[in-house]
Amino acid sequence: MRNMPRVLIVEDEPAIAELIAVNLRHNGFQPTWAMDSATAQRELDDVLPDVILLDWMLPGESGLSLAKKWRADPRTKAVPILMLTARGDESDRVAGLDAGADDYITKPFSTKEMLARIRAVLRRRTPENVEGVVAMGDLQLDTATHRVTFQGQPVKLGPTEFKLLNFLMKHAERVHSRGQLLDRVWGDHVFIEERTVDVHVKRLREALGAAGVMVETVRGAGYRLTTQVTVPSLGAGAGAPATNAKGSGGEEKRA
């Protein structure tokens, strides 16, 4: 028998839950339905699903509150959560993501979109989200504690920059196109524009400070994380010019 991914559907509207379950079954998933938070919690205590589809508007405890709770629980914190929401407001989406949801689907959604997003979070979970410490030169990233340090100093990163750095460190010295990064870091490139990658790469470089030069732009190809650059030392001579004297665009290299 095939190993079918388990999906826990937390949704109080039977018609929607049934529609989702039927589609999931037809596409090789094993759905379970919980119509309220108490049932959902019992399901989770019983067997961990591979993905949770979590409705925002539930009677009693809201989906948002459940997402926060499950993220804080060591048993469930690694299970990807997709929020189902009728709200299209950006502030609500941000609140959902802040609560620990991996992604959100705005109702009404197509089956195709739902399946794409479920597959995306499943892809994203492995192998980049396996816990452990990865190091490149003086740069260290710990996926268990979500801490990044450079030359022993903490580096503060947003969640997307953290995921991006995690992926780049685990696939170092290789060039990744924007499309590949969207696929492997964001999980799909159907719904997000490629320039989003550039924005997060820029933020990542800025957050890394002196180590930012390790994130190289490879013209016409994409990005790569490399130790084959001179990284200015933090320790030696504070106040020394932290440039490699190449000027703007100097970081770009031919593949």
Instruction: Tell me the site size for Ca ion, rule CB under 5 A.
Output: 3
Strands (E) located in the chain: 6-10, 30-34, 51-55, 81-85, 103-106, 133-136, 139-142, 147-150, 153-155, 215-218, 222-225
Q: What is the closest distance, in whole angstroms, from the C-beta atom of residue 42 to Ca ion in the complex?
A: 19
Instruction: Give dist(CA 38, CA 46) in Å, integer.
Output: 12
Binds Ca ion (CB under 5 A): choice among 43, 50, 55, 216? 55
What SS3 state is found at 120?
Answer: helix
- Asked if 16 interacts with Ca ion (CB under 5 A), we say no
To the nearest 10 degrees (0 to 180), the angle between helices 37-46 and 63-72 is 30
Between 54 and 211, CB nearer to Ca ion: 54
Stretch that binds Ca ion, among 6-14, 45-53, 167-175, 220-228 (CB under 5 A): 6-14
Stretch that binds Ca ion, among 5-13, 147-155, 188-196, 214-222 (CB under 5 A): 5-13
Determine contact, residues 86/57, Cβ cutoff 8 Å.
yes
Binds Ca ion (CB under 5 A): choice among 12, 92, 142, 198? 12
Instruction: Give dist(CA 221, CA 233) in Å, integer.
Output: 29
- Asked if 57 interacts with Ca ion (CB under 5 A), we say yes
| Tokens of residue 82, six digits | 């997709």
Residue of minimal Cβ distance to Ca ion: 57
- Asked if 40 interacts with Ca ion (CB under 5 A), we say no
Write out the residues near Ca ion by the rule CB under 5 A.
12, 55, 57
